Amino acid sequence: MRLVRLLLLSVVVILGDNNFDGPALYQITEPVTHAECPTWDSRNNLLYYVDVWPGTIYSYNYTSKELTSITLQGPISPVVPSKSNPNLLIAGIGRTIVAVQWNREDGTYTSKTLLTLAEDKPDSNMNDGKADKEGRIWFGTMDQDADTVNHPDRGTLYKITKNLSSPEVMIAPVNVSNGLVWNKANNKFYYIDSPTQQIAEYDYDDTSGEISNRRVTFYLKDHGLDASPDGMTIDEDDNLWVALYGGGSVIKVNPTTGDLLGRFPIPAESVTSVMWGGPDLDILFITTSRIGLTEEQIMKQPGAGSVFALTNLGTKGVPVFEADIIDSI
pLDDT at 2 over 60: no
230 catalytic per annotation: yes
DSSP conformational letter for 221: G
Residue type, 90: I
Q: Which residues are annotated as a binding site for substrate?
A: 127, 145
The candidate with the shortest Cα–Cα distance to 310, out of 78, 12, 61, is 12
161-187 pLDDT tens trace: 998 988 999 999 999 999 999 999 999
Domain membership of residue 127 as a residue range: 2-311
CATH number at residue 210: 2.120.10.30
3-state helix, strand, coil in the chain (%, to 5): 5, 55, 45
Residue numbers in the known binding site are 36, 127, 145, 178, 230
Specify if 323 maps to a domain: no
* Digit-coded pLDDT (tens) for 107-140: 899 999 999 998 888 888 999 999 999 999 999 9
Residue 20: predicted pLDDT: 64
Whole-angstrom distance, CA of residue 287 vs CA of residue 272: 6
**Annotated binding residues for a divalent metal cation, as ranges?**
36, 178, 230
Q: Is 151 helix (H, G, I), strand (E, B) or coil?
A: coil
Q: Is residue 307 part of a domain?
A: yes
Would 77 be classed as within a structural domain?
Answer: yes
The reported pLDDT for the residue numbered 226 is 95
* pLDDT(21) > 80: no
Cα separation of 176 and 230, whole Å? 9
Q: How far apart are CA 148 and CA 118, in angstroms?
A: 17
How many whole angstroms separate alpha carbon 128 and alpha carbon 83?
Answer: 19
For residue 33, which phi and psi values (nearest 5 degrees)?
A: -75, -50
Angle ∠(191,195,196) on CA atoms, nearest 5: 60
Q: State how far the Cα of 321 lies from the Cα of 67, in Å rounded to an integer.
A: 23
Q: Residue 4: which pLDDT band, with cuts at 50, 70 and 90? A: very low
pLDDT tens-digit map of 253-307: 999 999 999 999 999 999 999 999 999 999 999 999 999 999 999 999 999 999 9
The neighbour count for residue 309, using CB atoms within 10 Å, is 21
**What's the pLDDT score for residue 135?**
97
- Segment 149-155 mean pLDDT: 77
Share of the chain above pLDDT 90, in %: 83
Residue pair 155/175 in contact (Cβ under 8 Å)? The answer is yes
Q: Are strands 66-71 and 124-131 parallel, antiparallel or unpaired?
A: unpaired
| 327, part of any domain | no
Whole-number Å distance between alpha carbons of 329 and 326? 8
Q: Is residue 159 part of a domain?
A: yes
Span 213-224, pLDDT tens digits: 999 999 999 999
pLDDT confidence of 6, banded at 50, 70, 90?
very low
Active-site entry in 132, 230, 235, 324: 230
**CB within 8 Å of 151: residues ≥ 6 apart:** 123, 143, 145
In the chain, the number of structural domains is 1
Q: Which residues contact 111 (CB under 8 A, 6 or more apart)?
A: 72, 98, 99, 100, 101, 329
**Contact 52/77 with Cβ under 8 angstroms?**
yes
pLDDT band of residue 10 (cuts 50, 70, 90) is: low
| 38-81 confidence digits (pLDDT tens) | 999 999 999 999 999 999 999 999 999 999 999 999 999 999 99
- Name the DSSP letter for residue 7: P
Residue 194 lies inside a defined structural domain of this protein: yes
Helices marked H in the chain: 295-300
With vertex at residue 163, the alpha carbon angle to CA 159 and CA 166, rounded to the nearest 5 degrees, is 60
Which residues on neighbouring strands pair with residue 307, listed in sequence order?
287
d(CA 144, CA 15): 39
Residue 15 placed within a domain: yes
On the 0-12 / 13-18 / 19+ scale of CB atoms within 10 A, 282 is middle
Please indicate, yes or no, if residue 317 is contained in any of the structural domains.
no
- Eight-class DSSP state of 43: T
How many angstroms separate the CA atoms of 181 and 223, rounded? 22
3-state secondary structure of 241: strand
pLDDT at 200 over 70: yes
